[in-house]
Amino acid sequence: MIAASVFGIILFVVWCGDQYDKTSPEISPKENADVSHSPPAFIVKNISPYFWMTNVQLICGIDLAAFDVGARGPVGFSIPVTSGKSNPPIKPYKSVEYHCNPSDYLKFENGKISLMGLTTASPLEGATASEARLIQAEVWIGVKYRIFWLSNEREFVSPMWKYHSASASWEEIRPTYK
C-alpha cells in the first residue's frame, strides 16, 4: 500500500514536470508556404494542453539582412533590430502565424536607403527600389507571455534561422536559448 502511494506521488511529480516543460512555445517556419510571400512566416504554437498563453508579445530579431539592389550590388545591415507585436492569448494546443521579414524594416526610395526611419543622406548610385530583394537573412523569434494572469512574465527565444532566397525557406542554424 505504501509502495503504491509513493509510486503514485513519483508519477504525479514527473507529470507536473512534463506539464511545466510544455509552458514554453514551439516555434518553426511555416511549411508549404506560398513562395510568392517570401520569406515564409513562422508558426508560434502553445504546446500546453492546459495553460493559455496571455499578454503575448512576439518579437522579430534580425541579426543580419542583405538585399540585392540591382547594379549597385548587395546592401544590408548587421545590427539587431527588434520590433514587438502584441497578440491575443494563445489557447492550449493552438498556434499563431508571425511574419519576420527584414524587408519590412528596410525601405528604398529615390535611391536612398531608410532603416526604420533613418535615411541615407544621398542616393546610392545604381540602387533601385524595384529591383531590391532579400537575398540573405538571419533572424530569431522572441515571445514574451504569461501562463497565468497574475504570474511573472516569461520569455522564450527561438533558434537562429537563416533564410535561403533560392528555395524561399528557413534553416535552423543555432539552437534554442532558454
Higher pLDDT, 113 or 130: 113
Average pLDDT estimate for 91-105: 88
Nearest to 142 by CA among 154, 124, 134: 154
Asked whether residue 20 is assigned to any structural domain, the reply reads no
Asked whether residue 15 is assigned to any structural domain, the reply reads no
pLDDT for position 92: 92
pLDDT for position 96: 92
| Average pLDDT of every residue of the chain | 80
pTM over 0.75: yes
Asked whether residue 9 is assigned to any structural domain, the reply reads no
Asked whether residue 19 is assigned to any structural domain, the reply reads no
pLDDT for position 162: 92
- C-alpha 49/C-alpha 19 separation (Å) is 8
Asked whether residue 7 is assigned to any structural domain, the reply reads no
Asked whether residue 3 is assigned to any structural domain, the reply reads no
Q: Which residues of 108-126 are buried (b: 16+ CB within 10 A; e: fewer)?
A: beebebebeeeeeeeebee
Higher pLDDT, 132 or 135: 135
Asked whether residue 164 is assigned to any structural domain, the reply reads yes
- For residue 114, give Cα distances in angstroms to 75, 103, 157, 176: 12, 11, 27, 31
Which structural domain range is residue 135 located in?
25-174
* pLDDT exceeds cutoff 60 at 20: yes
pLDDT interval class at 45 (50, 70, 90): very high
Q: How many domains does the chain have?
A: 1
Asked whether residue 117 is assigned to any structural domain, the reply reads yes
